[in-house]
């Protein structure tokens, strides 16, 4: 059958009516969380960074994975230093913020609404209460940002850490910071200097990471009062190395900078997992473009890889369970351009021939489908919506869709027929960074 044929559309609509299960309330998420329980990593996606249902649904699944199936950390598409403030709060670590609102003040980088929102605040309070209920000798559930953008913030955190330890590596950290400071925290300025003129800081950050790692392995007990300080320092140093590479390569506008970013997220995820132990299980929150296997989209033809592909390759497909999230229509929080004030925008109905339209036509209600049960009918390439932090609903007919084989991209999919915008806490937009 042709991918656009009326016969194919009718066939898929009927199959979705048969195979999809309704989502009427929190209890309906249980079979879906149970389906991913045996995996080491459950990857939870989103079709936008500004939809309330995506956050609330992922929170419901995360709670069940933590409380019923022993998952021990959440890794998100956010900056390590700012997300670590939420981690401090939910674990009551040294220097922890007094409230979740105080913790969220760390999200100064645009788009702050991605993690400074009411939906995340609710989850953080649940995680804090859950951690309080655990025995003293049991590992607390953590919350971490594994993205690559926090170059200057991460270097500042390393300097604070090494200063407190009176470490001989402190001078190397200061040299690395000094190399970047001439660009006045302007990533574009560094990208031009490094990518076009070879004026880079690569050697400085690579040496810093080596020094931090050597020190961590030599003196594991140095920060016994703060058991995650050394982990934080290592990942901040890793951010330094990979952020430098990201900005150095992004000036070319090809797949290399994207691949640097997603490969970094895998490295950071691996370090967090090792911190918790060889069999520790984690939940990953990222955009569908990161957690849905790139090989099932047109990304592969452009030489791009992503977290969904790399986790399956590294840990094995049976140890990874990826759940995509999408919507037919509603509202979303986004900006009209990089760094613009957030707006509540209308998401128009899914276009004809898209997975979103098929799921709607199969029944105008919230639903989910597990592809592992019978993937073959859904191994067909169709448009699948993807909304970034910059969005223009008027351009829906020209873009915002990624050709996808849904059953190969994800192990399961959650569809909200009508969705609403996220509820931001901090409405102040700061310096813009490029996100998916």
Angle at the Cα of 150 (from 145 to 151), degrees rounded to 5? 140
Contacts of 186 (CB under 8 A, 6+ apart): none
d(CA 379, CA 389): 29
Contact of 43 with 309, CB cutoff 8 Å: no
* Tokens linked to 131: 């951690």
Contact of 148 with 205, CB cutoff 8 Å: no
* Tokens linked to 154: 């991460």
Note the residue count of the chain: 436
What pLDDT shows up at residue 433? 39
Whether residue 105 is preceded by a cis peptide bond, meaning omega within 30 degrees of 0, is: no
In the numeric block, the tokens 């090494």 are attached to 162
Strand ranges, E, within 267-386 = 282-285, 320-334, 343-347, 367-370, 381-385
Residue 339 gets which letter from DSSP?
T
d(CA 314, CA 300): 17
Using the CB atoms, write b or e for 214-233: b if 16+ within 10 Å. Answer: ebbeeeeeebeebbbbbbbb
Residue 341 gets which letter from DSSP?
P
d(CA 218, CA 168): 13
Give the burial class of 18: count Cβ atoms within 10 A of its Cβ; 0-12 exposed, 13-18 middle, 19 or more buried: exposed
What pLDDT shows up at residue 373? 80
Q: What is the DSSP string of 222-279?
A: TTTTSTTHHHHHHHHHHHHHHHHHHHHHHTT-SHHHHHHHHHHHHHHHHHHHHHH-TT
Strand ranges, E, within 87-234 = 142-145
Q: Mean pLDDT of residues grouped by 10 in the chain (436 residues)?
A: 74 96 97 98 98 98 98 98 98 94 94 96 98 94 97 95 92 93 84 80 94 78 69 96 92 86 98 95 98 97 97 97 98 96 96 96 98 92 96 88 97 98 70 40
Q: What are the phi and psi torsion angles at 54 (to 5°)?
A: -65, -45
**Of 104, 110, 232, 233, nearest in space to 170 by CA:** 233
What pLDDT shows up at residue 193? 83
Cα distance from N-terminal residue to C-terminal residue, the chain:
33
Element (H, E) at 58: helix 52-69
In the numeric block, the tokens 């079709």 are attached to 47
Contacts of 98 (CB under 8 A, 6+ apart): none
Q: Write down the domain spans for the chain.
A: 6-419
Whole-model pTM? 0.94
Contacts of 398 (CB under 8 A, 6+ apart): none
């Amino acid at each position: 059958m042709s991918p656009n044929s009326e016969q194919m559309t009718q066939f898929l609509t009927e199959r979705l009516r048969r195979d999809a299960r309704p989502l009427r309330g929190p209890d309906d998420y249980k079979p879906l969380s149970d389906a991913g329980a045996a995996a080491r990593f459950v990857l939870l996606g989103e079709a936008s960074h500004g939809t309330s249902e995506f956050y609330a649904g992922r929170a419901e699944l995360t709670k069940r994975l933590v409380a019923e199936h022993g998952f021990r950390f959440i890794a998100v598409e956010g900056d390590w230093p700012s997300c670590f403030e939420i981690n401090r709060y939910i674990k009551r670590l040294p220097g922890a913020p007094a409230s979740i609102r105080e913790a969220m003040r760390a999200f100064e980088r645009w788009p702050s609404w991605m993690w400074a929102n009411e939906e995340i605040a609710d989850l953080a309070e649940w995680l804090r209460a859950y951690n309080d209920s655990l025995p003293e000798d049991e590992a607390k559930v953590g919350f971490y940002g594994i993205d690559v953008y926090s170059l200057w913030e991460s270097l500042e955190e390393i300097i604070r850490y090494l200063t407190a330890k009176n470490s001989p590596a402190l001078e190397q950290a200061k040299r690395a910071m000094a190399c970047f400071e001439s660009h006045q925290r302007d990533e574009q300025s560094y990208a031009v200097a490094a990518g076009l003129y070879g004026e880079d800081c690569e050697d400085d950050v690579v040496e810093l990471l080596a020094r931090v790692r050597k020190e961590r392995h030599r003196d594991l007990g140095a920060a016994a009062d703060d058991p995650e300080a050394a982990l934080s320092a290592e990942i901040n140093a890793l951010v330094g190395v990979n952020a430098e590479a990201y900005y150095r390569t992004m000036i070319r506008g090809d797949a290399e900078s994207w691949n640097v970013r997603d490969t970094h997220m895998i490295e950071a995820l691996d370090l967090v997992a090792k911190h918790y132990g060889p069999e520790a299980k984690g939940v990953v929150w990222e955009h569908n473009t990161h957690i849905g296997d790139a090989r099932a989209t047109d990304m592969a033809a452009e030489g791009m890889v992503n977290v969904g592909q790399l986790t399956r390759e590294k840990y094995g497909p049976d140890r990874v369970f990826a759940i995509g999230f999408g919507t037919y229509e509603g509202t979303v929080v986004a900006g009209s351009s990089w760094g613009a004030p957030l707006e509540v925008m209308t998401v128009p109905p899914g276009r004809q021939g898209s997975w979103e339209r098929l799921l709607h036509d199969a029944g105008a209600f919230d639903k989910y489908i597990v592809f592992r049960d019978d993937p073959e009918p859904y191994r067909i390439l169709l448009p699948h919506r993807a909304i970034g932090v910059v969005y223009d609903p008027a351009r829906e007919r020209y873009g915002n869709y990624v050709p996808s084989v849904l059953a190969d991209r994800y192990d399961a999919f959650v569809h909200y027929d009508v969705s609403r915008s996220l509820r931001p806490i901090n409405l102040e937009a700061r310096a813009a960074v490029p996100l998916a």
